[in-house]
């Protein structure tokens, strides 16, 4: 029964993850209430699952990778809810809710290593994994390019130069919106890609997959994505500093790409 509660919690965490981005970046009060309700319900069902799991096992400490992942996800969600209720802010949810979802989704599949029911289903998840990550890379590249063009346009306007070859550029606000939107789309692609890759990894390599340098750097980039979104959202970062921030994450992306050369289980040729 605890597995059913855990699966319900995973679905609710996923819905809360979607709603928190609409609440934080869309400035929509209604989504704030929806997000908080979903997160609270997910936390409660998750708590019931963890307590029932430990009671059935006749112990009070998690044992094994899946149990530790589930407990860690519960603690992350607990800290987020305490902050959200005490300080009335959902900003930390853009990090906490996707992390809780990613941590709990694999244990929710079952106590043992998950196996796909057919090669076609596995190929579909592999396709989603590759396409989503490539879309995330492309979105970050567009964000970097838009930020760079914003810097050029801003400098031209400050110096009161004639339009020249830059007269084709859109207004500053438009380029800033493009940079922000592509960042959000890229983060969604990164999250979906990591989720699909985690499912595939559990069948092929087990928990050893998550010690691979390519995988670790991918999660580092995912974390940096969150930091960049949060900084741009909270400080209204534009111009030169936005270019620096996007460039830093883009360099990490290149490091993730190059890590395939040192990866033992995750290479371009692997399929």
Q: What are 4-28's pLDDT values in tens digits?
A: 999 999 999 999 998 998 888 776 7
Is the torsion defined by CA of 208, 213, 216, 219 positive or negative? negative
Segment (H or E) for 80? helix 65-87
Ramachandran bin of 236, using left for φ above 0, alpha for ψ from -120 to 50, beta for the remaining angles: left
Cα distance between residue 214 and residue 194, in whole Å: 12
pLDDT at 111 over 80: no
Residues in contact with 143: Cβ distance below 8 Å, sequence separation at least 6, in sequence order: 178, 179, 180, 182, 183, 186, 246
**Nearest 10 degrees: Cα torsion 205, 108, 268, 190:** -150
pLDDT-wise least confident of 23-37, 51-65, 75-89 = 51-65
For residue 260, what pLDDT band results from cuts at 50, 70 and 90? low
Whole-model pTM? 0.70
Query: Minimum mean pLDDT among 72-76, 98-102, 162-166, 244-248: which range?
Result: 162-166
User: pLDDT at position 146, please?
Assistant: 80
Q: What is the pLDDT of residue 270?
A: 42
Report pLDDT digits (tens) over 113-164: 566 667 777 788 888 888 988 888 888 888 888 878 877 777 777 776 655 5
Q: Output the six-digit token pair for 212.
A: 């691979």
The rounded distance, in Å, linking the Cα atoms of 92 and 104 is 18
Q: Cα 102 from chain centroid?
A: 8
């Amino acid at each position: 029964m605890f597995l059913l509660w855990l699966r319900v919690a995973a679905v609710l965490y996923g819905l809360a993850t979607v709603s928190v981005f609409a609440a934080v970046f869309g400035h929509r009060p209604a989504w704030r209430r929806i997000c908080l309700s979903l997160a609270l319900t997910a936390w409660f069902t998750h708590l019931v699952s963890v307590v029932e799991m430990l009671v059935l096992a006749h112990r009070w400490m998690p044992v094994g990778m899946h149990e530790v992942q589930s407990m860690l996800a519960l603690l992350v969600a607990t800290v987020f809810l305490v902050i959200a209720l005490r300080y009335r802010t959902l900003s930390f949810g853009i990090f906490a809710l996707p992390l809780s979802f990613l941590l709990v989704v694999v244990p929710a599949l079952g106590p043992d290593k998950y196996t796909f029911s057919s090669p076609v289903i596995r190929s579909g998840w592999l396709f989603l994994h590759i396409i989503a990550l490539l879309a995330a890379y492309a979105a970050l590249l567009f964000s970097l390019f838009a930020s760079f063009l914003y810097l050029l346009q801003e400098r031209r306007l400050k110096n009161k130069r004639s339009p020249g070859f830059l007269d084709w550029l859109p207004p500053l606000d438009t380029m800033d919106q493009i940079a922000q939107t592509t960042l959000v789309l890229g983060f969604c692609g990164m999250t979906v890609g990591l989720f699909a890759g985690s499912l595939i990894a559990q069948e092929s390599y087990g928990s050893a997959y998550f010690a691979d340098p390519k995988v670790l750097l991918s999660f580092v980039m995912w974390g940096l994505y969150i930091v960049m979104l949060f900084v741009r959202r909270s400080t209204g970062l534009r111009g030169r500093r936005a270019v620096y921030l996007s460039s830093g994450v883009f360099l990490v992306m290149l490091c993730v790409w190059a890590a395939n050369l040192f990866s033992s289980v995750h290479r371009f040729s692997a399929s």
